[in-house]
Amino acid sequence: MKRSEAQRRLRALRAEIRHHDYLYYVKDTPEVSDEAYDTLFRELRQLEERFPELATPDSPTQRVGGMVFDRFPPVEHAAPMLSLASDRDEAALRRFDERVRKGVGGAVRYVLEPKLDGASVELVYEGGTLVRASTRGDGIVGEGITDNVRTIASVPLRLRDEVALPEFLAVRGEVIMHLSDFEKLNERLMDEGKEPFANPRNAAAGALRQLDPTVTASRPLDIYVYDVLDVRGYEITSQTDALDAIRAWGLPVTTLIETADTVEQMLAYHSSLLQRRDDLDFEIDGAVIKLDEFAARRRLGATSHHPRWAYAYKFPPRREVTRVLEIVPSVGRTGVVTPVALMYPVELGGVTVSRATLHNREEVARKDIREGDRVRVQRAGDVIPQVIERIDEPDRKRGPRFRMPKACPSCGTALTERGPFTVCPNSFECPAQLAGRLEHFASREALDIEGLGEQSARLLVSTRLVRHLDDLFDLTPAQLRQLEGFADKSANNLVAAIKQSSRVPLNRFLYGLGIPEVGVTVARSLAAQFGTFEALRRAGTDDLTAVDGVGPKMAEQIAGFFASEHNRDALHRLVGKVTLSETAPVSSGETLTGVKFVFTGGLTRLSRSDAEALVASLGGRAMGSVSKQTDYVVAGTDPGSKLAQAEQLGVTVLDEEGFIALLRDRGGAV
Ligand code: IVH
C-alpha cells in the first residue's frame, strides 16, 4: 500500500471508530458488533505500525478505552482500567502462554474466570465505606456514577470486617443484568411503547448512566467483582489472594472460577464454560486467563491498552449477520401469530440458526425487515434467536413490506389484533393451538391428568382423535391402543385418569383454559369471586376489575375471551363434560373469601367502615352497587334503592342482626 493510500484509509478508519465509540459509550446504542469493531481497530493499529510516521496523538489507538461524557463528574481511576488482549483462536492462546512462560521464566499458575458481558465499573472504599463508583470511561478517567451504583442491592455500602479492612480499596467489577430481568424489562419497555434494549449489556450500561438514580434503582442490576485495582493497608500478592479478600469483604464474586497450570486445562475450562453458557442467567462471552502471582505479573508489564499477563479467550459470537430468505407467520399455543424470519443458516455461539423471531407486527414495521434483507441476528441464553436490526444496503432493490396475513395460516379463521400482537381467536379448534392447549389443560395445576403430556397431546391432535378440547372426555381405551406408545394398561389408565379429572375445582378448570393473562393465582381469585363458571362468563369488565390482581387490561382480555364467538361453543361443550366443584378456601382464616356484600341504609351497632373492615378481614368484599354477583345486601335503617334492586335480582337481604350473626358464624370478631 502506498503512503497516500494509507493516509486516506487511516483517516477513514479513525472517523469510523470514533463514530462507533460515540454510539457505544455515549449513546449506548452500538450499531456494529464487537467483532466488526475489533476488526476495524486491528486494521487501524496494524496500519499505524506499518506507517508509524502517520500515527497521530488523537488516534483511537492512543487511548485506553472509550470516551468520557460530561454529564457525570469525571473521576480519575486508582489505576488505569485496561482492556484485555483477546482472540477466539486456540493457536493465539498457545502463543500467549508461551510468551508468558518465557517472560516469567519458571513455573506459572493461572486463574481462570468467566468473561462477564456487562459494564465495567470501579468501586472505591475508604475505611470500608463505599465512597465512589465510576464507569470505565477512557480507562484513566471515568464518569462518577456513585449514586446510581448505590442502588444496586448487591454492592455493599460497607465492607464486612471478617478479615481486616483495608484503609483504601479500589476494585473493578462488571455490572450485569440477569437475562430473566432483561427480558422482563424489555417487555415492559415495549408495553410502554419505548424502544427495547438490544442486549443485557446495553441495558446495564444504560441503567448506570441515568441522570436520575431512581430510574437506575428500577432496573434490576447485579455486580461481580474480579480485580483489585489498588489497595492500601492490606497485603495482596496474587489473584487468588485478591479474590479471597474480595469475597471476605462481602463483594460478590462468581462461582465459576478455577485455576490452571497448562494450556490443556485452559482449553478444558473454556469448553466447559461454553457448554454451561446457555444455562447461566447472565451473559458471558469467553474465559479470562490471568497470571496468578503479582510478582510474575510485574515482570511482564502492560501496554497502554492491555496487560501482558492476562488474556481473553473468547467464545464464538452470538451475534452475526445473515440474510432473510422468507418471513412466515407462526401460530403459537395461545394463538399469538409471530412473524418468523427464515434465514440463511448462520452460526451463533456454536449453534446453527436458521429461524429468528421478529416478535410482532409492530416490531417488523419498526425495524422495517423485509424478505431478502441483510440482518443482524442474536441469540442470548436459551432465548429464541431474534433479529436485532437491518443492515442498510443502499444499492440493493428491496422487496415489499411484510404484511401479516388476514387469516390464520393454520385454521383460516380471521385474525384479530391485540395491541401489537396478532391473534387467532379460534382458541380451541385451531390445530396450531390445540396440542399446546390440550397439554396445558392436562397439566398439574389444571386438570392434572396423569399420562397426558406434550407427546400424547401432539399424538391425539395429529391423529385427529381430539379435534375439540372436549373430545378428550370421549376417548376410549380402544382408540388409544391404536396410538404409538400405548398398550392395554396405559390406554386404560389414561381413560381412567381423564374420567377422574372431569370432577374439577373451578379455579383449576379456569387456569386450564389458558385464558390470556390468567395464571394460577388469578384463576383462584376469579373462582373465589364469581363462584360459578356461568357467573364469570357473564361478568363485565367492571366486575372483573373488582377482583384482586385484575387490572383493566387483564379484565378486557378475560371478558374478550368469553365473548369470542369461537370460544363460546367450545366452552359450552367443555363445561357440559366436566363437573365443576367449589374452590377450596385459601386459608381457614378467610371464611368469607370472595363473598360480596353491598350495604344500604344506616347501621346502629357498627359504623359502615367497621362493617366493611370486618368483611375484608374475613376475605370478603364490600361493593358499591348491586349486581347478580352480589351475595348479600345488608339493609339498615332507611335503606335506599339498593334494597329494591336486591329483591328484583333475588339477592339475599340481611338486616343488621343477620349480618352480625353471619360474621360471628364465620369467626368474625364482633
Ligand atoms: S480483568 C487488566 N476479568 O472484559 C485486566 N475483565 O476488555 C482487567 N471483563 O472491559 C480486566 N469479565 O470489563 C477482567 N473476569 C474478568 C472480566 C473482565 C469481564 C471485561 C472488562 C473489560 C473487558 C475486556
Buried-state track 104-130, b at ≥16 Cβ within 10 A, e below 16: beeebebbbbbbbbbbbbbbbbeebeb
Count the neighbouring beta carbons within 10 Å of the beta carbon of residue 504.
18
Backbone phi, psi, residue 375, to 5°: -135, 160
Residues taking part in catalysis:
115
What mean pLDDT comes out for the span 233-249?
96
Q: CA distances (Å), 74 to each of 1, 30, 78, 125, 142, in order?
A: 41, 23, 13, 18, 6
Residues 259 and 112 sit within 8 Å (Cβ to Cβ) = yes
pLDDT at residue 532, as a whole number: 93
pLDDT in tens, 161-174: 888 999 999 999 99
Q: How confident is the model at residue 577 (pLDDT cuts 50, 70, 90)?
A: very high
Helix orientation angle between 454-462 and 431-441, rounded to the nearest 10 degrees: 140
pLDDT in tens, 497-535: 999 999 999 999 999 999 988 888 889 899 999 999 999
pLDDT in tens, 470-479: 999 999 999 9
Please state the domain extents for the chain: 3-54, 86-314, 319-407, 431-501, 506-581, 596-665
pLDDT at residue 279, as a whole number: 87
Which atom of ligand 1 has the smallest separation from the CA of 302? 2
pLDDT at residue 28, as a whole number: 65
* CA-closest residue to ligand 1 atom 2: 82
Beta-carbon contacts of 46 under 8 Å, excluding residues fewer than 6 positions away, are: none
> What 3-state DSSP class applies to 267?
helix
In the reported structure, the alpha carbon of residue 333 is separated from the centroid of ligand 1 by a whole-number distance in angstroms of 42
Q: Which residues line ligand 1 (CB under 6 A)?
A: 82-84, 113, 115-116, 120, 174, 226-227, 288, 307, 310, 312
In CATH terms, are 431-501 and 506-581 the same topology?
A: yes
> Which of the two residues, 592 and 424, has the higher pLDDT score?
424
pLDDT at residue 68, as a whole number: 44
C-alpha to C-alpha distance for 38 and 32, rounded to whole angstroms: 10
Q: Which has the closest alpha carbon to 352: 316, 325, 326? A: 316
* pTM recorded for the entire structure: 0.57
**pLDDT at residue 26 above 80?**
no
Q: Residue written as cell 376469579?
A: 526
- Domain range 596-665, CATH class: alpha beta
In the reported structure, the alpha carbon of residue 55 is separated from the centroid of ligand 1 by a whole-number distance in angstroms of 27
| CATH code of the region 86-314 | 3.30.470.30
C-alpha to C-alpha distance for 288 and 433, rounded to whole angstroms: 45
β-pairing, 621-623 vs 503-505, is unpaired
Residues 85 and 311 sit within 8 Å (Cβ to Cβ) = yes
In the reported structure, the alpha carbon of residue 213 is separated from the centroid of ligand 1 by a whole-number distance in angstroms of 25
Which atom of ligand 1 has the smallest separation from the CA of 117? 19
**pLDDT at residue 582 above 80?**
no
pLDDT in tens, 34-47: 778 888 988 998 88
In the reported structure, the alpha carbon of residue 165 is separated from the centroid of ligand 1 by a whole-number distance in angstroms of 25
pLDDT in tens, 252-282: 999 999 999 999 999 999 999 998 988 899 9
What mean pLDDT comes out for the span 13-28?
78
Note the Cα 650 to chain centre separation in Å: 49
pLDDT in tens, 98-129: 999 999 998 999 999 999 999 999 999 999 99
Superfamily of domain 506-581, CATH level 4: 5' to 3' exonuclease, C-terminal subdomain (1.10.150.20)
Q: Which of 84, 111, 240 to mutate to test the pocket of ligand 1 (most atoms within 8 A of CB)?
A: 84
| CATH code of the region 319-407 | 2.40.50.140
| CATH code of the region 3-54 | 1.10.287.610
Element (H, E) at 76: strand 74-76
pLDDT at residue 586, as a whole number: 46
Q: Which of 226, 290, 291 to mutate to test the pocket of ligand 1 (most atoms within 8 A of CB)?
A: 226
- Tell me what the pLDDT averaged over the chain comes to: 89
* Domain 431-501: CATH architecture, name and number where available: Orthogonal Bundle (1.10)
